[in-house]
């Protein structure tokens, strides 16, 4: 175990042992390391909790953990603020691994909820990734109490209950089906139209193009932080900041094959991947990948869990694994990539381009895929369902 991990664990436990003496108040704290800003999902959850119980104070704090000693020191100050908030809260909500949630010993009165930041159960993550190429070092996971202390876990569909229980080390009856609010936005024609208009305003050239969105998954790299493996995300790019990576995804060849058929590729890397595409590839900077799905005709990926969002929008989904792309092993997944995804697998750009143009109907396969993975509530919105659950857990004597 590294010195950094030892210091982190001892420091967090010692500081929280003091802070937990603070009196609690009717407060819900939401913490995330997925971005430096409040994501639409967390904003919707916070608003839904406040609407379900206006007496609750809802605090949202988002800060990514980046590598390097300077960033670690800055993040230590952020952790102290998080611990102060959590020590006074009735409910803590997290959407990835959180050192504040899992490392300290909490009051019995605190309810900790994992809402996870992605739909479905595609690649293995958390405790379920142990022993696979996606998992963290076993000693690191044990010392950081990987995904410990959860009272409840929210999953997007019935087919995710068993995988989430395995990933987060809880019983299956602690996993409730309650999809993220992104499902509300993707199923609402008005919201989709508004998103589409924003994308076109930011990148007007896309309005006149037949767009195919290409989005590979993130892969573990040399610049990952200890928390990357614990959270289930594969780490940062080995390419480094702003450096053009090699082209194992054969994006240039695919873009050329599609352009010959009148289709335009927009290629998006994972949000924490700071490498760039080869010159000449359109990346539609400043627009999240999920928003770009509203202006495209097809979605292409290797292993990105955005297949669920694409399927919700009714888009054809294609798996693309060119020869130069490192493969993940079958045991790295909760599902069978070749059998369970709505669309076929391709290994060369020409066959993929031809398949996209042919546009074979995937509607039945897509329906079966979503039935296992995403189940919205019978009444109301996903945000309202989550807000009601969290407010309920907070509504008890102080």
How far does Cα 134 stand from its chain's mean position? 15
Q: What stretches of the chain adopt beta strand conformation (E)?
A: 27-32, 57-62, 91-94, 111-114, 152-155, 175-177, 211-214, 264-267, 296-301, 317-320, 345-346
Q: What is the CA radius of gyration of the chain?
A: 21
Give the range among 93-97, 127-131, 305-309, 362-366 with minimum mean pLDDT: 127-131
Phi, psi of 58 (to 5 degrees): -115, 120
Q: Tell whether the model's pLDDT for residue 297 goes beyond 60.
A: yes
Q: Tell whether the model's pLDDT for residue 240 goes beyond 70.
A: no
Q: Tell whether the model's pLDDT for residue 263 goes beyond 70.
A: yes
Q: Give the model's pLDDT for residue 242.
A: 41
Residues 121/335, Cβ–Cβ less than 8 Å? yes
* Domains in the chain: ranges and CATH: 3-183+377-394 (3.40.50.11820), 187-373 (3.40.50.12580)
Is residue 327 classed as helix, strand or coil in its secondary structure?
coil
Q: Tell whether the model's pLDDT for residue 185 goes beyond 90.
A: yes
Q: Tell whether the model's pLDDT for residue 387 goes beyond 80.
A: yes
Q: Give the model's pLDDT for residue 232.
A: 53
Average pLDDT of span 272-280: 78
Give the range among 170-174, 239-243, 316-320 with minimum mean pLDDT: 239-243
In tens, the pLDDT along 307-353 reads 999 999 999 999 999 887 877 888 889 988 888 888 888 999 999 99
In this prediction, residue 225 has a pLDDT band, given cuts at 50, 70 and 90, of low
Average pLDDT of span 27-53: 96
Mean residue pLDDT of the chain comes to 88
Residues 34/95, Cβ–Cβ less than 8 Å? yes
Higher confidence at residue 91 or residue 250?
91
Higher confidence at residue 223 or residue 347?
347
Q: Which two tokens stand for residue 398?
A: 């102080």
The number of CA neighbours under 13 Å toward the Cβ of 227 is: 21
Q: Give the model's pLDDT for residue 238.
A: 40
**Distance between CA 86 and CA 4 in Å, rounded?**
23
Residues 348/322, Cβ–Cβ less than 8 Å? yes
Average pLDDT of span 104-117: 96
Q: Tell whether the model's pLDDT for residue 35 goes beyond 50.
A: yes
Q: Tell whether the model's pLDDT for residue 220 goes beyond 70.
A: no
The residue assigned the tokens 């590598």 is: 67
In tens, the pLDDT along 62-97 reads 998 777 777 777 788 889 999 999 999 999 999 999
Q: Is 350 exposed, middle or buried (0-12, 13-18, 19+ CB in 10 A)?
A: middle
Nearest by Cα to 30 from 63, 8, 73, 7: 63
Q: Give the model's pLDDT for residue 227.
A: 56
* Residue 329: Cβ within 10 Å count: 9
In tens, the pLDDT along 45-66 reads 999 999 999 999 999 999 987 7
Q: Give the model's pLDDT for residue 186.
A: 97
In tens, the pLDDT along 322-333 reads 887 877 888 889
Look up the pTM and report it.
0.89
Is residue 167 classed as helix, strand or coil in its secondary structure?
helix
Nearest by Cα to 182 from 201, 195, 168: 195
Q: Give the model's pLDDT for residue 327.
A: 79
Q: Tell whether the model's pLDDT for residue 135 goes beyond 50.
A: yes
Q: What stretches of 166-271 adopt beta strand conformation (E)?
A: 175-177, 211-214, 264-267
Higher confidence at residue 13 or residue 133?
13
**Distance between CA 153 and CA 113 in Å, rounded?**
6
Q: Give the model's pLDDT for residue 309.
A: 97
Q: Give the model's pLDDT for residue 393.
A: 97
């Amino acid at each position: 175990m590294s010195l950094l991990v030892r210091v982190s664990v001892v420091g967090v436990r010692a500081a929280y042992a003091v802070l937990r003496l603070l009196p609690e108040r009717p407060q819900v704290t939401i913490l995330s390391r997925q971005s430096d800003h409040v994501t639409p999902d967390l904003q919707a959850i916070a608003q839904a909790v406040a609407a379900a119980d206006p007496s609750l104070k809802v605090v949202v704090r988002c800060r990514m953990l980046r590598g390097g000693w300077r960033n670690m020191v800055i993040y230590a100050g952020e952790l102290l603020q998080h611990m102060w908030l959590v020590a006074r809260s009735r409910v803590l909500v997290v959407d990835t691994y959180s050192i504040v949630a899992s490392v300290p010993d909490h009051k019995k009165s605190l309810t900790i909820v994992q809402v996870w930041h992605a739909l479905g159960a595609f690649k293995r993550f958390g405790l379920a990734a142990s022993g696979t190429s996606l998992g963290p070092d076993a000693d690191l996971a044990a010392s950081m109490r990987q995904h410990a202390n959860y009272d409840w876990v929210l999953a997007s569909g019935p087919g995710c209950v068993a995988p989430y229980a395995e990933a987060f080390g809880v019983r299956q009856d602690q996993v409730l089906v309650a999809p993220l609010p992104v499902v509300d936005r993707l199923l609402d024609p008005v919201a989709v139209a508004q998103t589409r208009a924003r994308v076109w305003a930011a990148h007007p050239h896309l309005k006149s193009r037949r767009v195919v969105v290409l989005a590979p998954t993130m892969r573990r790299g040399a610049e990952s932080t200890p928390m990357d493996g614990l959270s289930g995300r594969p780490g940062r790019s080995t390419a480094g900041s702003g450096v053009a990576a090699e082209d194992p995804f054969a994006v240039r060849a695919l873009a050329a094959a599609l352009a010959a058929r009148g289709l335009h590729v927009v290629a998006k890397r994972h949000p924490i991947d700071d490498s760039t595409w080869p010159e000449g590839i359109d990346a539609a900077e400043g627009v999240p990948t999920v928003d770009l799905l509203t202006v495209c005709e097809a979605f292409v990926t290797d292993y990105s869990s955005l297949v669920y969002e694409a399927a919700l929008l009714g888009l054809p989904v294609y798996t693309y694994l060119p020869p130069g792309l490192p493969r993940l092993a079958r045991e790295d997944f909760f599902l069978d990539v070749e059998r369970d995804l709505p669309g076929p697998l391709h290994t060369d750009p020409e066959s993929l381009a031809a398949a996209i143009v042919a546009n074979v109907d995937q509607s039945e396969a897509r329906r079966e895929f979503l039935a296992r993975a995403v189940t919205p509530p019978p009444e109301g919105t996903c945000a309202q369902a989550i807000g009601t659950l969290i407010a309920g857990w907070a509504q008890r004597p102080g």
